[in-house]
């Protein structure tokens, strides 16, 4: 019987690998197009100059980011090159401080601290940290918190002071703002910004 | 001792790899235990040794542990396949010591330096901050060189011996992606979607493809030794396994692409292929039970046999059932990135790779020339480790379900929702119970380590007192 | 999906796969030991798996395509143990 012949199954293994790899290659090409900054799902870095929201879209039955009018970050509008450099710096800070070994982003990382996918939009900045840090914008509140998290503890699991400079903290803020505008197929579900009445 | 080995040079190197891998397993257990304490007492060791560092040690050392156990297993088993010592062993020995030194230095850097300023220099020298591959780039280069030398040992011997069996072909072809995928450990793209897209190639294709094939090949070699199964059967089964793993696993990567910015078609593709994964694993369980029934009477190495069984069942339950519960996109939307994921991750990893313990027992039996490996000690280790693991993943699942319910489905995943879900009694009880079972697991590790050090020797000592020199153990 | 439906659906899917595993293991064990009662317990496991499936079809808001997938999957669970068993007999016997 052919099924008892190892060679039959070897052929099966090789062909299943070839078929799935071809499909994977095609999907990879398409996906990379969609997820490049400026692609269909991932905004260009200059999105940090805009207002960002997160709303339920009824006909798609999922939550989607919205990109609104101009909203300077730290009182500044960034050129494409400046925006990219700032966000790049933010990524380096996030990696060098091992942020995703406590936090998650897009749900990937460690599960000890909150997910950062929509951290920029979190209503807690308005409700908790803006009063605590005595700042007037969300961006300043995040930057102040990131530089001295130990001064603004809100819970038993505290964030350690990772010695971020002001530049580094602002770069992380820019990064979080950019990330919050990525279309993540409706993840996280039910997230409400302060403007939408979230707590 | 060494002159007793059939291939002393390769196999004494294998024993070194096994020794280090068991020590590394210990570091994984201790770091995991300390991290589990953090969930119950967040101020424990804080801020000197924050959770992030413990977590890095826990999972990075895990990778090296299993990699070293694989290398040991192949150094042990392959010479018999080739009918000769492996080539390049001098180099392999040098790399072994460099490897060990690197692990020590990197661990010291993680504990004492931890993080650095947001520059490329930090990524080169201190910490790359990418899950599973946090080791700084200089160390990653050494790991890559180590793997390259290993490839040379295996492939070079194949060329020199001109005798390549089917299993060896699988091993060799599998080393190619194993090496090249690791190169994904180096870049640091600004765009997190692109970063995670490729990073999942490394993580998913290592853990769910090349490592699965690697352990499959090792199990094939072990089955021939342990149970005297014929080569034709073992090779047939290996090819079936490879075919099924690749047919479901390659596109199964899609279940990591649901929520990271990738197009929505991954929801269907990833959900479909990963939901198929339990089916081949079910076939493996049937096979394991069949083998157990056929060969149970002839068993001379009980621990090796039972760890092999634990592998088959653990794989089906941990990867198969636990994964199936959360892999459909409509459910994953709520379960992803919670303790529920951690529950599945722990059980799947353990189930898929606890089989390396079996190989170590098998090698030790040869090495110590024991006619029989049996007794009570290994059973304690086996029961505590597996019982501890089942308890941990059960507790984590309870906590994770509470998190999915309160934080994700009701609370909308804000900071506030995260904190209040983490304050729910289900979550707190769950992580408390996880700590208890983590202690059980740690006890199991201690017993296992003791047993590995002494099994087969205990016998000889008693037998020297009067009995036959090769009396059955205990 | 409502919060309770997430947990209920997932638990049912877990039980579905677990019962499928129980059926497979007991089926092979029964064939090996040639004990009839064991076979009956194996089939009872499969019946429980079907019951899980029906409950999911009934209470869960999973999309239709996933429900169809689950029905196909349940059918696969039914035939995998006997087919694998027969295949293994032939493979080892020859």
Indicate the number of domains in chain C. Answer: 1
In-domain check, residue C17? yes
Q: CA B84, CA B81: separation in Å to the nearest integer?
A: 8
In-domain check, residue C29? yes
Half-sphere exposure of A82 (CA within 13 A, CB side): 8
Report the residue of chain C nearest A4, measured CA to CA: C91
Contact partners of B by the rule of 3+ C-beta pairs under 8 A?
A, C
Report residue A187 CA to chain centroid gap.
11
In-domain check, residue C13? yes
Which of C3, C16, C21 comes nearest B285 by C-beta?
A: C21
What residues in C contact B324, CB-CB < 8 Å? 13-14, 16-17
In this structure, how many other beta carbons lie within 10 angstroms of the beta carbon of residue C18? 22
pLDDT tens-digit readout, A25-65: 999 999 999 999 999 999 999 999 999 999 999 998 899 99
In-domain check, residue C73? yes
Taking 60 as the threshold, does the pLDDT of residue B467 lie above it? no
Q: CA B285, CA B239: separation in Å to the nearest integer?
A: 16
Among C residues 72-91, those touching chain A with beta carbons less than 8 Å apart: 87, 90-91
The H or E element containing residue A108 is strand A108-109
Q: What is the mean pLDDT of residues C29-41?
A: 91
Q: Are strands A62-70 and A50-57 parallel, antiparallel or unpaired?
A: antiparallel
Taking 70 as the threshold, does the pLDDT of residue B466 lie above it? no
Taking 50 as the threshold, does the pLDDT of residue B462 lie above it? no
What residues in B contact C81, CB-CB < 8 Å? 282, 286
Residue A198 burial (10 A CB sphere; 0-12, 13-18, 19+): buried
What residues in C contact B280, CB-CB < 8 Å? none
In-domain check, residue C60? yes
Contact A188 B129 (CB under 8 A): no
Q: What are phi and psi of A50, to 5 degrees?
A: -120, 160
Residue ranges of domains in chain B, CATH in brackets: 1-188 (1.20.210.10)
Contact partners of A by the rule of 3+ C-beta pairs under 8 A?
B, C
> Do B110 and B56 meet the contact criterion of CB atoms below 8 Å apart?
yes
Contact C24 B282 (CB under 8 A): yes
Q: CA B134, CA B124: separation in Å to the nearest integer?
A: 10
Whether C69 contacts chain A with CB within 8 A: no
Whether C92 contacts chain A with CB within 8 A: no
Whether C2 contacts chain A with CB within 8 A: no
Residue B58 CA: distances (Å) to CA of B24, B28, B50, B66 = 10, 5, 13, 12
pLDDT at B465: 39
pLDDT at B297: 52
pLDDT tens-digit readout, B75-94: 999 999 999 999 999 999 99
pLDDT at C78: 96
In-domain check, residue C2? no
Give the mean pLDDT of chain A: 95
Report the residue of chain B nearest C77, measured CA to CA: B279
Q: CA A51, CA A66: separation in Å to the nearest integer?
A: 8
pLDDT tens-digit readout, A72-84: 999 999 999 999 9
Q: Which residue carries 């505590």 as its tokens?
A: B384
Contact C25 B290 (CB under 8 A): no
B43: pLDDT confidence band, cut at 50, 70 and 90? very high
pLDDT at C94: 52
SS3 A47: helix
- Which domain covers residue C80, as residue numbers? 8-93
Query: How large a percentage of chain B has pLDDT more than 70?
Result: 95
B468: pLDDT confidence band, cut at 50, 70 and 90? very low
Taking 70 as the threshold, does the pLDDT of residue B470 lie above it? no
pLDDT tens-digit readout, B195-213: 999 999 999 999 888 998 9
The H or E element containing residue C83 is helix C64-93
Give the mean pLDDT of chain B: 92
In-domain check, residue C3? no
Taking 60 as the threshold, does the pLDDT of residue A164 lie above it? yes
DSSP annotation of B185 reads G
Cα-only R_g, chain B: 22
Q: Which of A163, A143, A120, A37 is closest to B122 using CA atoms? A: A163
Residue to test with chain C: of B258, B286, B400, most C Cβ within 10 A: B286
SS3 B60: helix
pLDDT at A1: 61
> Do B154 and B172 meet the contact criterion of CB atoms below 8 Å apart?
yes
pLDDT at B298: 62
| Token pair recorded at residue B426 | 């289900």
Polymer length in residues for chain A: 199
Using CA atoms of A46, A52, A58, A60 in order, give the dihedral in degrees to the nearest 10: 30
What residues in B contact A169, CB-CB < 8 Å? none
Contact B286 C29 (CB under 8 A): no
Residue pairs between chains B and C whose CB atoms are closer than 8 Å: 104
């Amino acid at each position: 019987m052919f099924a008892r012949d190892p060679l039959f199954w070897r052929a099966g293994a090789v062909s299943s690998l070839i078929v799935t790899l071809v499909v994977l290659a095609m999907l990879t090409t398409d996906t990379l197009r969609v997820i490049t900054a400026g692609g269909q799902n991932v905004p260009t870095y200059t999105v940090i100059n805009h207002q960002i929201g997160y709303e339920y879209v009824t006909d798609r039955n999922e939550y989607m980011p919205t990109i609104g009018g101009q909203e300077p970050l730290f009182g500044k509008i960034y050129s494409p090159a400046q925006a990219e450099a700032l966000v790049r710096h933010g990524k380096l800070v996030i990696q060098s401080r091992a942020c995703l070994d406590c936090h998650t982003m897009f749900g990937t990382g460690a599960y000890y601290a909150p997910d950062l996918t929509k951290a920029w939009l979190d209503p807690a900045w308005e409700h908790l940290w803006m009063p605590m840090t005595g700042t007037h914008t969300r961006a300043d509140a995040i930057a102040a918190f990131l530089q001295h998290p130990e001064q603004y503890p809100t819970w038993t699991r505290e964030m350690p002071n990772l010695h971020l400079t002001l530049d580094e903290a602002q770069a992380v803020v820019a990064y979080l703002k950019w990330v919050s505008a990525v279309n993540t197929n409706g993840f996280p579900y039910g997230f409400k910004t302060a403007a939408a009445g979230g707590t | 001792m060494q002159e007793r080995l059939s291939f002393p040079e390769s196999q004494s190197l294998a024993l070194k790899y096994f020794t280090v891998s068991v020590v590394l397993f210990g570091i994984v257990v201790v770091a995991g235990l300390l991290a589990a304490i953090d969930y119950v007492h967040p101020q424990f060791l804080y801020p000197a040794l924050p959770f992030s560092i413990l977590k890095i040690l826990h999972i990075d050392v895990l990778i090296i542990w299993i990699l070293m156990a694989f290398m040991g297993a192949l150094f042990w088993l392959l010479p018999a396949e080739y009918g000769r010592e492996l080539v390049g062993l001098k180099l392999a020995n040098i790399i072994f010591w460099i490897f060990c030194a690197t692990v020590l230095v990197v661990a010291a850097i993680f504990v004492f330096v931890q993080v650095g300023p947001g520059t490329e220099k930090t990524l080169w020298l201190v910490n790359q901050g990418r899950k599973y591959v946090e080791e700084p780039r200089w160390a990653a280069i050494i790991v890559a060189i180590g793997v390259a030398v290993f490839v040379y040992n295996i492939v070079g011997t194949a060329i020199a011996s001109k005798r390549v069996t089917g299993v060896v072909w699988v091993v060799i072809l599998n080393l190619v992606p194993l090496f090249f995928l690791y190169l994904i450990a180096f870049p640091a793209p600004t765009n997190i979607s692109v970063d995670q897209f490729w990073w999942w190639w490394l993580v998913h294709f290592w853990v769910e493809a090349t490592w699965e094939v690697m352990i499959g090949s090792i199990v094939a070699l072990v089955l021939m030794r342990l149970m005297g199964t014929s080569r034709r059967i073992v090779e047939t089964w290996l090819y079936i396994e490879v075919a099924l793993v690749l047919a479901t696993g390659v596109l199964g990567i899609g279940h990591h692409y649901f929520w990271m910015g990738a197009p929505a078609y991954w929801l269907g593709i990833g959900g479909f292929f990963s939901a198929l994964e339990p089916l081949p694993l079910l076939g493996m369980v049937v096979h394991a039970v069949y083998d157990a029934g056929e060969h149970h009477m002839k068993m001379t190495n009980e621990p090796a046999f039972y760890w092999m069984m634990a592998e088959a069942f653990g794989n089906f339950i941990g990867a198969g059932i636990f994964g199936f519960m959360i892999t459909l996109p409509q459910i994953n939307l709520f379960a992803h990135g919670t303790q529920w994921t951690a529950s599945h991750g722990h059980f799947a990893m353990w189930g898929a790779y606890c089989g390396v313990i079996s190989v170590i027992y098998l090698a030790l039996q040869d090495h110590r020339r024991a006619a029989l490996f049996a007794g009570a000690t290994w059973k304690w280790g086996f029961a505590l480790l597996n019982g501890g693991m089942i308890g941990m993943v059960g507790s984590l699942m309870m906590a994770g379900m509470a998190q999915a319910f309160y934080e994700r489905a009701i609370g909308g995943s804000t900071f506030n929702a995260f904190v209040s879900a983490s304050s729910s009694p289900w979550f707190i009880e769950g992580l408390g119970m996880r700590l208890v079972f983590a202690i059980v697991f740690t006890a199991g590790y201690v017993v296992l380590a003791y047993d590995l050090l002494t099994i087969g020797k205990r016998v000889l000592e008693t037998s020297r007192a009067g009995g036959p020199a090769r009396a059955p153990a205990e | 999906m409502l919060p309770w439906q997430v947990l209920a659906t997932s638990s049912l899917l877990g039980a579905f796969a677990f019962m499928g595993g129980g059926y497979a293991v007991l089926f092979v064990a029964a064939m090996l030991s040639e004990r009839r009662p064991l076979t009956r317990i194996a089939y009872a496991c499969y019946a429980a798996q079907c019951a899980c499936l029906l409950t999911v079809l009934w209470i869960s808001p999973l999309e239709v395509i996933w429900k169809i997938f689950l029905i196909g999957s349940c059918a696969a669970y039914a035939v995998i143990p006997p087919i694998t068993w027969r295949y293994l007999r032939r493979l080892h016997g020859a």
